Structure 1
């Protein structure tokens, strides 16, 4: 069984280990890959990390990566860096999200719309009633994109403080919405 910190089970702290920690007890900073990957340059950077006392890198792909994420060249370079670090008694970690958000693998997962995030758009404006402004951001914002489906329409009455007084679900959208007509759409990010 692989144990990352085997010396944690020791009865007492080893002063020698404390003064000269092995790779697993040293820093492993994010190593941002954000351009066309150059194996020779990356191997030199590993030498620099070791000179600085790091226990190894955490490979972290960032915006700007020109080498295909998870492609053959990318994986070859990951393996070369991991092997090179191992020969120098360093550990290599792979932050495998390709930027953000978690789990989309640089678009490989979300290429299939079934695997994309969804959000509820709760609005007084029905689809087709005005301009849609696309938001291109790396933040987790739900934005109106009018690519969804109507789930339900409601008549909603709020009190003077903006709190819900009452509501009722409508069977169909009214031909002329009122200020109290609200639409619930399921949209895909």
Structure 2
């Protein structure tokens, strides 16, 4: 049953619960000030999200102490708290901490690019960062099928690339190693 009074003053579970981006120092006094302001504005809770610019190390003892302080302050204010591991994007990389200690777990990918060219034509490909595993020219038949072992004519240049996602120790995505 719909309770009309809930639209005027909804319970905490039905109120806005925004992402609370932690950057800067995140001292206890600032955490408390922001939680009090959220309560005053009618927020029902928040998702703690670490972001670039945060001066405390993500997942450090200080980080967990500040999270514990925020959870207790929110409990006293009657607000819900959620932790959101998106530091930094993409999802779930824990600020690069896992791959820093276990580089064998770094995500890898395999991609393939094909470029057609006529016999004697110079082909130049601008490739993204990674390690080229194979690159070969393979003649094509009139219908575009690869003719392995044949020579000359219209060719497809195939390239396979092995790459990885890189995150630096400070949590910033790296396009290059």
Q: What's the TM-score, normalizing by structure 1?
A: 0.68
* SS of match in other structure, 1:59: strand
Q: Where do 5+ consecutive residues of structure 2 fail to align?
A: 116-123, 166-177
| 1:7-44 deviation digits (Å, cap 9, x = unpaired) | xxxxx122333322121110011111121221111110
In the superposition, the TM-score normalised over structure 2's length comes to: 0.72
CA contact (8 A) 1:59 1:92 kept: yes
Which of 65, 69, 78 is the aligned partner of 1:89? Answer: 78
Task: Report the CA distance between 1:155 and its aligned residue.
Answer: 1.9
One of 112, 123, 133 as aligned partner of 1:150: 133
Q: CA deviation at 1:181?
A: 2.6
Unpaired runs of at least 5, structure 1? 1-11, 133-142, 171-177
User: Which residue is equivalent to 1:7?
Assistant: none
Give the CA RMSD over aligned residues.
3.0
Quote the residue 2:108 is aligned against: 118
Aligned equivalents of 2:3, 2:82: Cα separation in 1: 26
Deviation (angstroms), 1:186: 2.0
Q: Please tell me whether residue 167 in structure 1 is matched to residue 150 in structure 2.
A: no
2-structure distance, mates of 1:100, 1:158 = 45
Larger strand proportion, structure 1 or 2? 2
